[in-house]
Amino acid sequence: MKDVVTSGAPTQSGARVTRTSRDATSGGDAEAGASYRAAGVDIEAGDRAVELMRSKVKKTFRPEVVGNIGGFAGLFAFDTDKYKKPVLASSTDGVGTKLAIAQQMNIHDTVGIDLVAMVVDDLVVCGAEPLFLQDYIAIGKVVPEKVADIVGGIADGCRWAGCALLGGETAEHPGLLSPDEYDIAATGVGVVDADSILGADRIKAGDQIIALASSGLHSNGYSLVRHALLADGKMRLDQVVPELGRQRTLGEDLLTPTTIYAQACLAVIEECEVHALAHITGGGLAGNVVRVIGEDVDAVIDRATWRPQPIFDLIGTIGRVTRPELERTFNMGVGMVVVVPPDQADRAVASFSARGVKAWVAGEIVSGTGNVRLVDSHPS
């Protein structure tokens, strides 16, 4: 039997279904001898966590969510009339070792936002509207308030992304994880019309590359971040760093949530002709833009069009990380790239700006052989 504490889809009242069965191997009254709680799994704590997260999860429900009291799966009534040739898109991701910072800081209400962003911003790259998300939390010991904070962040992210938190599972793993440790992952599902899928086949020489500002590191490269800034006592998470330009601790800055671009991108896709998107995650600008261009063009991106946030300089200076390594690992201030025809660039930039997303023309598509070139001044 898995060490499952809470599992399944939200019910009509907006909570995860809680399964409270006796360990199949106990052979009798759990209180009379060995018990699941004594083994380290507290079902009642899971129940309390569900109650604490109930209202936030319910706020994510879209009209298509079908409530099923006591169900084992989330149900979503898909609207086939909205699409001529609907294609489902799916994406699975996690937050990575950014979680180590959250656990050291004892701040757990932002990593759920990161989780949603990593999933839905991958979905929107092909033009898909995120429909619903399901999460998985593996934790050493269920502390209801901590789990509620994590799921509360996931619920906030889902609301901002316009998708339902359709279900999830929290698994207590004593002996495998320490009481303070946890890991989170999620799978999201979206939909796009077959004739509207974005990608390399739409891109042409002359197209403009629009950059969307990141909020900072987002959720990639934290193993390098921790090595560069925290190893050997170089810096402390609780220290205020003037170079960052904010009266926040280093730890708080490192926990800045990943930007959720999905809704803004979908709106611009409706308003403008968009050829392709690229979500800038691990691998940096070059490593991700190259995934969405064809072999007959190059993407030329001008570094001089923006200034990365101070956190990137701090990592480079304190950790002695070279510029090529920084660019190979981090987004360097650009969280998403949008490729549009030249006559759509100004309109797209204005549309993003109107939605609170800083955007600018950062380069162009030229004839080439499928490479991405980062330059310090755009060629005329």
Helix (H, G, I), strand (E, B) or coil at 30: coil
Q: What is the mean pLDDT of residues 284-304?
A: 97
d(CA 274, CA 265): 9
Confidence of residue 208 (pLDDT cuts 50, 70, 90): very high
Q: What is the pLDDT of residue 63?
A: 72
Specify whether 338 is located in the same domain as 253. Answer: yes
Q: What is the pLDDT of residue 65?
A: 76
**Domain limits for position 248:** 200-375
Angle between helices 43-58 and 144-161 (to 10 degrees): 20
Structure tokens given for 339: 């490729």
Neighbours of 69 (CB within 10 A): 8
Indicate the helix (H) or strand (E) that contains 349.
Answer: helix 345-354
Is a pLDDT exceeding 50 seen at residue 1? Answer: no
Confidence of residue 163 (pLDDT cuts 50, 70, 90): very high
Residue with the bigger pLDDT between 281 and 39: it is 281
By C-alpha distance, which of 113, 265, 275, 258 is closest to 190?
265
Is residue 106 in a domain? yes
Angle between helices 310-319 and 222-229 (to 10 degrees): 60
Is a pLDDT exceeding 80 seen at residue 5? Answer: no
Query: Which of 133, 165, 193 represents a domain boundary (last residue)?
Result: 193
Query: Which of 174, 193, 212 represents a domain boundary (last residue)?
Result: 193
Amino acid making up residue 261: Y
Helix (H, G, I), strand (E, B) or coil at 262: helix
d(CA 110, CA 67): 27
pLDDT tens digits, 98-151: 999 999 999 999 999 999 999 999 999 999 999 999 999 999 999 989 999 999
First-to-last CA distance in the chain?
65
Query: Minimum mean pLDDT among 2-6, 103-107, 258-262: which range?
Result: 2-6
Q: Which residues contact 73 (CB under 8 A, 6 or more apart)?
A: 8, 9, 167
Specify whether 216 is located in the same domain as 329. Answer: yes
Please provide residue 167's backbone torsions phi and psi, each rounded to the nearest 5 degrees.
Answer: 175, 175
Is a pLDDT exceeding 70 seen at residue 192? Answer: yes
Share of the chain above pLDDT 90, in %: 73
User: Domain containing 137 — which CATH number?
Assistant: 3.30.1330.10
The chain-wide mean pLDDT, for the chain, equals 87
Confidence of residue 74 (pLDDT cuts 50, 70, 90): confident
Neighbours of 55 (CB within 10 A): 13
Is a pLDDT exceeding 70 seen at residue 12? Answer: no
